[in-house]
Structure 1
Amino acid sequence: MKPNTLLNRVLRARYGDVLWNGIYRNNPSSTWKIIQNGADFLFPVLRWSISNGEYVDTFKDIWILDKTLDKWSTFVSIIENNYNKVSDFITNGSWDIDKLKFCFGKLLIDLILSIPIHSSQPEDKMECIKKISGKSVAAIIYEKKFNAISEDETYKWRKKLKLKPKIDMFWWRISKNSIPTFALLSYRRLINHEGCPRGCLDTENTDHIVRRCFFINKVFKLLEEWNFGTPEFDSVEDCYQVLSRLANINPFLGNLICSVIFYCYKSRNQLIHGGCDDSCYVIAYRAVIQSISSFKNGLIRENWNANQLFKLSKSSWLPPPLGWIKVNVDASIFLNNSTGIEGIFRDYKGRGLAAFGFHTIHWDIAQKELLAILSLRDLIKDWMLEAKGEMIILNAEDLKKNGLVGDRAMT
């Protein structure tokens, strides 16, 4: 800029000294509109080089790393409006530590103290954030502008998978790289470590919380034992490709993968905030129940508003009375004589409380149905006996056909 030119002096007298404040007056001139439009595009890719801090807004301008303070996930405490300019924190050409301590935390203070003050400059100047990127300023502006407004490529498959709102929001945040992983918090100078809180010898980034954590691998392995085979992937981008494909051919399995990763991350948050990490079994059955309920057909309104679960008709499953716990058991047999026995405990609202399943080798489905019922002796817990009652509904068509059980439920 040339401060002594006639145009410069006229614009400064009418619109002020700071070009970057974004203030628009009534009926501005065409010249000012063009300059202001260019400033709007330049502002996100420039940062301030501090001289005296008089032109730099503490919270709305970029002078620490690559973001303004009002867009940071950070710790700032402002009690009075006396620190709106960076110059308020500078005394005799150096940072005033006492004033910094009044407003910022220790980590931010250390970061601010590392910012040089160019006392030789007559005033604060703007400089490009990416100095050695090899790109022109126009290319940097284009990348910054249009990446920010690019179409959400995950929206289509997220919609097809019928994710619950909280899970859908979680995956949208992953697509925007806004999950506060330890790697992201360390980059923002909020913590001084990047390792996984579960003890993995790996950096906790987005790829880690999606697949690379050993805990998530254990949950997926458990689901494979329950005959929920999931495709292999190793990163977020690979996961997007898998979910996009499953959205068209098997949306239930895609929903299950999203639910597992969500509940693993939720359990991780419990752990770092002083709670306990949920077990693999708890997360697995929560994810299965969540995915089933995502494909519900409606509500049974005359039965305490219990959810009508996926592929279950009103005549095949009804919720138990208020305060009761209901368990459904079943068995299946494959052509190679591999049999699977499974069951699930639910409350009067249809919410899953516990689930079980195991494999055996046998040829008679009727005997396996009976074994499924007898296995409850070892699976019923003390807290279940505190319910008002316990109802066992048998989904055992072979037993009924053979006359081994009646049409009424065993209670």
Structure 2
Amino acid sequence: MYSGIGYRRGASSTCKILANGNKFLKKVVRWRIGNGCSIDIYKDIWILDKSLDNWHTFVATPEHDNQIVDKLISDGYWNVEELKILFREDLISLICGIQILPNQEDDCLELIHQNFGCSVSALAYKASVQDHSSCFYWECLKNIKLRPRVEVFWWRIFNNAIPTFQFLFQRRIQGEFDCPRGSIATEDLEHITLKCVKLVEIICYLNKWGFGIPNFKSFQECWKWMESYNKGHGYLINIYCSAAYLNWRARNRFLHEGKDDSAMVIATNSVSYASISYMVDKDKLGHWGTN
């Protein structure tokens, strides 16, 4: 007997995924283009990992309804003139980089991310759990008075919208996924927020100054600490979140300019960032000073 939502009470995660296949699989698959006749331009996923009507920088108007990708294709190639009617230059360039398979008559589905040994059901279940947990963690951090740029950085962390090397590799944009600073480790979200050698060094400086931030081994351990410290030690969490953001910013500077800030400088700036944004008393306008 199945309940109204499509699966038995107490059913396993696999059974739930099978019973609600479309709902779960939609998070982990996208269209591979043959003739484009099966793909809605705005509602289906065929560019990177989101449908266009879910892109925050793209606005679809009512006249965009029920438009199919085949209208953008001519003789097995992208019709640039048609693309110019609908999209701007940067998006046109991205679309033109998508391969059309002329020998494949029909469109088919493929995994959005390259598969690192997980089954399709495991990938789908992991995606659904991440969506639920990210909302919980984000609500936790909203009370910590992060500076706007730091808050946006962590919002992007929770929405898997940080272009780490693993992020780019999984989307077939880049050929390698190791840390660009030379560490032999996959640069993923856990790496840039927990395990980066530079971040560990920054935390060591902060702890020498008496802050007492743990070295976390997993996201779960980090979030558990944040949840338990949220009410009385928001300032400490603010310093940690600022350190992760400033380390990511320094990483980008190293990657694009060849210059990297020292761990001590980043640690000092982390304290400064948190001090500016975190008020001692909600009824007063004074801020904690860096000293």
Q: Contact conserved, 1:219 with 1:284, CA < 8 A, in 2?
A: yes
2:224 is equivalent to residue 224 of structure 1 = no
Q: Take 2:26 and 2:175, find their aligned partners in 1: how far apart are those partners?
A: 27
2:276 is equivalent to residue 295 of structure 1 = no
1:52: how far off? 3.3
Corresponding residue number in structure 1 for 2:77: 96
Distance 1:61 1:86, change over 3 A: farther
1:89: how far off? 3.1
Residue 99 (structure 2) aligned to one of 112, 116, 134: 112
Partner of 2:174: helix, strand, or coil?
coil
Corresponding residue number in structure 1 for 2:157: 174
Corresponding residue number in structure 2 for 1:309: 287
Q: Contact conserved, 1:194 with 1:203, CA < 8 A, in 2?
A: yes
Distance 1:287 1:44, change over 3 A: same
Instruction: Name which structure has the greater RCO, CA cutoff 8 Å, separation 6+.
Output: 2
Q: Contact conserved, 1:44 with 1:144, CA < 8 A, in 2?
A: no
2:229 is equivalent to residue 242 of structure 1 = no
Partner of 1:284: helix, strand, or coil?
helix
Note the residue ranges of structure 2 that are not aligned, 5 or more in a row: 1-21, 57-66, 113-118
Matches within 5 A, 1:12-411: 44=26, 52-54=35-37, 56-58=39-41, 60-63=43-46, 67-68=50-51, 85-86=69-70, 88-89=72-73, 91=75, 95-96=76-77, 112-113=99-100, 115=101, 117-119=103-105, 133=120, 152-274=135-257, 276-293=259-276, 294-297=278-281, 308-310=286-288
- The TM-score, its normalising length taken from structure 2, stands at 0.65
1:152: how far off? 1.6
Q: Contact conserved, 2:251 with 2:260, CA < 8 A, in 1?
A: yes
1:251: how far off? 2.1
Q: Take 2:193 and 2:24, find their aligned partners in 1: how far apart are those partners?
A: 35
Q: Percent identity, please.
A: 30
Q: Take 1:60 and 1:194, find their aligned partners in 2: how far apart are those partners?
A: 30
Q: Contact conserved, 1:216 with 1:264, CA < 8 A, in 2?
A: yes
1:265-303, Cα deviation, whole Å (9 max, x unpaired): 111122222252111111111111222231245899xxx
Q: Take 2:233 and 2:49, find their aligned partners in 1: how far apart are those partners?
A: 42
Q: Contact conserved, 1:233 with 1:242, CA < 8 A, in 2?
A: no
Q: Take 2:110 and 2:168, find their aligned partners in 1: how far apart are those partners?
A: 24
- The TM-score, its normalising length taken from structure 1, stands at 0.48
Note the residue ranges of structure 1 that are not aligned, 5 or more in a row: 1-39, 74-82, 301-306, 311-349, 356-411
Partner of 1:223: helix, strand, or coil?
helix
Q: Contact conserved, 1:52 with 1:87, CA < 8 A, in 2?
A: no
Bigger strand fraction: 1
Distance 1:201 1:109, change over 3 A: farther
CA RMSD of aligned residues (A): 4.3
> How many residues of Structure 1 are paired with residues of Structure 2 in the alignment?
247
- Bigger drift between 243-252 and 207-216 goes to 243-252
Q: Take 1:238 and 1:287, find their aligned partners in 2: how far apart are those partners?
A: 21
Aligned amino acid, residue 174 of structure 1: I
User: Of the two, which has the highest radius of gyration?
Assistant: 1
Q: Contact conserved, 2:164 with 2:189, CA < 8 A, in 1?
A: yes
- Bigger drift between 156-165 and 215-224 goes to 156-165
